[in-house]
Structure 1
Amino acid sequence: MASQAANPSKPWQLSGLAYGKGIPALCLLHQEIEQFYSYIQSTPTEFYLRAEAVRRIEEVVLFLWPSACVDVFGSFRTGLNLPNSDIDLVVHHGHYWNPGTPLHELKSELVARGLTEMSSVSVLDKASVPVIKFTERVSRIKFDVTLNAAASGVQAAELIKDFMRKFPEMPKLVMVLKQFLSLQGLNEVYSSGGVSSYALTLMVISFLQQQARSNKRYNVNNKLGLMLLQFLDYYGRKFDFFKFGISVLGEGGCVEKERLRSTLGENNWQSVLSIEDPVTPTNDIGRSSYAALHVMQGFKAAFLKLSKLVDSEASKIVGPILANIVEVPQNIVNYRTWVHYNFQHLLAPESSSPPNPGGQPPLSGTSNSASEDERSDTQQTVRNGFRRCGDGPPQNLDLDNTLANLKLN
């Protein structure tokens, strides 16, 4: 039986009148996924704050290397970022770089300009893909910046957006699953050996390709709920990770690992989780996910928990079903409230219609979902991912004044 307690970590909970009134649990789950997706997406205020943070970093990069070009890739470009997701940037340059030296130069300049604190910066110049990691001081957003090597990440993001158009259910499933893995501490490859956002997205796409190939028909009233259950069951209990790899090339599906040897090479194909990179087929996206089996065990446990609820009598469902595997931690609720309180001015009248004051989140931190009025005018921009800040508003921020005036610190 689902929990009766309603609290801010379940902002997608349906009206109390929906539960226990004979509506099938699978239909309730479908509606909850819809509401979770609506809630968790970047609001225009959050989007513009991210775009402004990118602009500030780009200014530093161009000061150091005027002929360089900065690109955004990853979840911010596709619009599949959670409220606390990192922003991935790649700096392109016309000549070969020994990554260590310029990354340290960038670190020094970022600290000197007050864009980040020395304590928040890490330069991983010995990693397979050298990267600088830091937290931008105004927005409190984490950044990963690489040099040249991540150029394929931009192509990957565009490919993901193509799949989003083909499979409209994909982003909704991805966002639920990303939050699920985040709560398990298994959404980071570098720190925990978990499954990256890109890897998870490819897993969802491959699953949807198989569903499409089988011509499976869904009821529009429970489609998302059923798809989530089937995904968790497929990768949590049915898929043989030791025998097969995952692919989205062609019609997608599973590929015998023996067949991957010729393209992935001896060093990659033996990983538990093997995912063929559609942009660079010689790259195994899952090769560093050494905790992949823990992820699959989590999927299995989530499937068993949800399927038990879905099999319950409709009259016995008294609270949100999705909340049994997903929640929004209070620190994320507080951060979003802080963002909307301090940065509403980024939605200048010329960039979008002014937000409805009545729809802004209260300062108590109990809710932070932006009003429908605020979302509607710029939602398409958010879904399409990053656009260069120079293409229009948001307005520039004064760094010192912004920091001095921030509330809810």
Structure 2
Amino acid sequence: MKPSHTRLICRAPNRFTPSIALWQHFIGPQQHIPSQPRFSSTVSEAVQDSTSSDNTVPGPGDSGPLQEEAETRNVLTQNKPSNNAKSVIRKTTTVKGIWHPDKRDASISKNIDTKHAARQASVEAAEQLLTAAKTAFDEGKDYKGVVVQPMLNATTVKESKLPWCLAPEERTILGIDRLAIEIEIFYTYSKPSYYESLARRHVIEQVRKHSRQTLPDHILEVFGSERTGLAMAMSDIDLRLLPQSRIEDPEKVKLPPTHEQRMEGMKNLHKLHFNNLARQKAYLLPWLRYARYPLISLQDKQSGLDIQIVLSNDTSLSRETMKRYMDEYPYLHQLYFVVKAMFDIRGLSDVFRGGFGSYSLFMMIVASIKHLPNKRNDAAGALLHFLKFYKNLDTVKNGVCIEPAVLFKKSEEAVMPDKVKSRLEATVLTLLQGGAAKPLPKYMLSLRDPADKTNDLGRKGIAIKHVQATFKILLADLESNIKSNSRPSLLGPLVGSSYMLNKERRDRLRHYGQKLSSQLKDSLAKTAKMVKEREQAAEEAKLAEEANKESEEDKKKARLVREERDREFTHLAEERNVRLRREAERTAVLDHGDAMASILGMPIADRDPEGQQKHALAEESEAKMEAQAQSGAQSSPEKKNP
């Protein structure tokens, strides 16, 4: 049943709502203010109520609400700008960002901003922790180790969608076995694919090409993870700048450079940076760093790969040591990739901010395997023992030695010999202009390099206390997840965020590799076409040459046959002429008798039948010879061209 009348709805932008009416009736009269606020459902300036509620008339000296309102209107009228004045639009900004009329768009924008802020906060948190640790180190103070959370991406993904996560039906196995499978899959995923490897090789050759333009007598030697086979898809590319003369002498390459060679190398590095790489449009952020080993750091624009050109010493001995350990422990590759990713996503692998480099991480893993072997002899057991070993290691008292696998007292045994230590202290004193050399803090990790007994691999790891605090939490979570075996990915808390952090960069690198592969295929197709055309041309030329040769031989044979035929024809013609002459003479003798014969001086012809028979046989033989000569001439190649 329809209502008897239509409901009226006020559609004004400033409609008079019931709450305003209630406020005017109950709250407004009790407010002790000079003038009551007026609420209106229209834009008119007229007063709604012309009389007061108590019907009293104000006296001459009383300034009631109406009088004050009139005075206010007069002031506004006097201050009102003229029509000729130029109107100015005032723009106001707020901290809430762009205004969206649609609630859905506003909600989406808010979520995006929140995720971006969370990612930025995660990055800044790791940087702040490392900066605080480095500041305390520079000031000779101690700091408190805290758990370093992984950096996050603005776009998140479910843990069950990670590429190394097993399907639900495959998670029924033991937790430790599932962890081993996830580590193996993660290793396969983290390795460079075919297109990514192609892009990395192209970038190396591109940098070498640009380097030869400025330093033609120098080469760039690949070293680091790219040389040892431990490079991940987005790992830095490390190149060592060497003069060609040192490469030609293997003994000189292994020796550390002299002071003059270092100065010359620094000069060449400076020249390469400012005269070439800094002007190339193919690179971003070229930067010359004056460190212990000076280097040029830059990023390739197309692939997004980071490149470092370093004036480093020879690393062949360290490379051989790493190869020996990788042969001894086949699962070392897989475990290294997990540990490296775990440090990368937390910013703990930045050496310049107090983190641990690739070589130090590798030897830390080897040390944990040597000191705390696992019965499973696989990457899963080694990962648990790695976290447990460094979580419980007392870095204040003990140092770590790999060969032999022992812990030594830091207070009693120095990592470097006294001679080297005194020389380094003298150098530091010179640099500090008479200041005292500061010893390393007691909390620093001391790890003896098996390739060089005087090299302490932990001397730059200022963030070791943050590392130990992080390992403590990660180990507890990992053991709990292995026991419950209900989490979609056991590696999720350790390296889960690395997937989204590197996904965009890896997609970019893969697409660049696909582009290079397409260009390479086109180039190979053109080259193959040119080679095929050349082979066809050579084959055609060979056939033409053989045809010409056969033609010349045929011509020669035809000429010989023709000459032989001509000789036979000449001989036959001569014999025929002789025979005809004889026949003519014989005929004359037969016709005229002995008188003609006596005139010609010829003997009298034999008229017996036997003589005539012999004459017929001779004529038949001559006819056969002539027929054979004609058949030979017809079978020769020159029968078409007489």
- The answer, yes or no, to whether TM exceeds 0.5 is yes
Equivalences for 1:58-137 in 2 at 5 Å? 58-93=208-243, 94=246, 96-98=261-263, 99-108=265-274, 109-117=276-284, 120-125=285-290, 127-137=291-301
State the 1:239 CA deviation: 1.4
Q: 1:226 aligns with which of 372, 377, 381?
A: 381
Matched, 1:146 2:316: no
Q: TM-score, normalised by structure 1?
A: 0.73
Equivalences for 1:150-229 in 2 at 5 Å? 150-190=312-352, 192-211=353-372, 217-218=375-376, 223-229=378-384
Amino acid in the other structure paired with 1:18: E
Q: What is residue 45 of structure 1 aligned with on the other side?
A: 195
Partners of 1:303 and 1:270 lie apart in 2 by 28
State the 1:347 CA deviation: 5.1
Amino acid in the other structure paired with 1:116: Y
Amino acid in the other structure paired with 2:268: P
State the 1:100 CA deviation: 4.2
Does the 8 Å contact 2:182/2:491 carry over to 1? yes
Q: What is residue 320 of structure 1 aligned with on the other side?
A: 489
Greater helix share, structure number: 2
1:280/1:36 Cα in 2 relative to 1: closer, same or farther (>3 Å)? same
State the 1:74 CA deviation: 1.4
1:60/1:226 Cα in 2 relative to 1: closer, same or farther (>3 Å)? same
Partners of 1:274 and 1:319 lie apart in 2 by 37
Does the 8 Å contact 1:83/1:332 carry over to 2? no
Amino acid in the other structure paired with 2:208: E
State the 1:180 CA deviation: 0.7
Partners of 1:186 and 1:27 lie apart in 2 by 28
Partner of 1:325: helix, strand, or coil? helix
State the 1:341 CA deviation: 2.5
Q: 1:14 aligns with which of 161, 166, 169?
A: 166
Does the 8 Å contact 2:332/2:379 carry over to 1? no
Which entry has the higher C-alpha Rg, 1 or 2? 2
1:210/1:245 Cα in 2 relative to 1: closer, same or farther (>3 Å)? same
State the 1:57 CA deviation: 1.3
CA deviation profile, 1:114-160 (whole Å, cap 9, x unmatched): 2313xx121112x222111111223211111112xx23334323321
Indicate the RMSD between aligned Cα atoms, in angstroms. Answer: 2.8
CA deviation profile, 1:325-376 (whole Å, cap 9, x unmatched): 212242411222222223225558999xxxxxxxxxxxxxxxxxxxxxxxxx
State the 1:70 CA deviation: 1.9
1:254/1:76 Cα in 2 relative to 1: closer, same or farther (>3 Å)? farther
Q: What is residue 265 of structure 1 aligned with on the other side?
A: 421
Partner of 1:235: helix, strand, or coil? helix
Partners of 1:269 and 1:206 lie apart in 2 by 24
Amino acid in the other structure paired with 2:299: T
Does the 8 Å contact 2:415/2:455 carry over to 1? no
Amino acid in the other structure paired with 1:193: G
Amino acid in the other structure paired with 1:176: V
Partners of 2:297 and 2:160 lie apart in 1 by 34
Amino acid in the other structure paired with 2:490: I
1:269/1:256 Cα in 2 relative to 1: closer, same or farther (>3 Å)? farther
State the 1:294 CA deviation: 0.8
Partner of 2:495: helix, strand, or coil? coil
Q: 1:275 aligns with which of 425, 447, 454?
A: 447
Q: TM-score, normalised by structure 2?
A: 0.48
Matched, 1:242 2:411: no
Partners of 2:505 and 2:415 lie apart in 1 by 45
Partners of 1:285 and 1:303 lie apart in 2 by 24
Partner of 1:85: helix, strand, or coil? coil
Partners of 1:269 and 1:73 lie apart in 2 by 31
State the 1:231 CA deviation: 0.9
1:64/1:242 Cα in 2 relative to 1: closer, same or farther (>3 Å)? same
State the 1:304 CA deviation: 1.0
Amino acid in the other structure paired with 1:256: K
State the 1:320 CA deviation: 1.0
Question: Bigger CA drift: 87-96 or 288-297?
Answer: 87-96
State the 1:5 CA deviation: 3.7
1:50/1:225 Cα in 2 relative to 1: closer, same or farther (>3 Å)? same
State the 1:256 CA deviation: 3.1
Does the 8 Å contact 1:152/1:280 carry over to 2? no
Q: 1:256 aligns with which of 409, 434, 442?
A: 409
Partner of 1:140: helix, strand, or coil? coil
Unaligned ranges ≥5, structure 1: 352-392, 394-409
1:112/1:244 Cα in 2 relative to 1: closer, same or farther (>3 Å)? same
Q: What is residue 307 of structure 1 aligned with on the other side?
A: 479
Partner of 2:240: helix, strand, or coil? strand
1:307/1:111 Cα in 2 relative to 1: closer, same or farther (>3 Å)? same
CA deviation profile, 1:378-406 (whole Å, cap 9, x unmatched): xxxxxxxxxxxxxxx9xxxxxxxxxxxxx
Aligned residues between the structures: 330
CA deviation profile, 1:232-277 (whole Å, cap 9, x unmatched): 01111x21212222333x3444333232355373769845112223
Amino acid in the other structure paired with 2:509: V
State the 1:179 CA deviation: 0.6
Q: What is residue 378 of structure 1 aligned with on the other side?
A: none
Partner of 2:318: helix, strand, or coil? helix
Q: What is residue 362 of structure 1 aligned with on the other side?
A: none
Q: 2:508 aligns with which of 317, 338, 352?
A: 338
Q: Which has the higher contact order (CA 8 A, sep 6+)?
A: 1
Amino acid in the other structure paired with 2:413: R
Partner of 2:222: helix, strand, or coil? strand
1:262/1:165 Cα in 2 relative to 1: closer, same or farther (>3 Å)? closer
1:345/1:262 Cα in 2 relative to 1: closer, same or farther (>3 Å)? closer
Partner of 2:296: helix, strand, or coil? strand
Partner of 2:448: helix, strand, or coil? coil
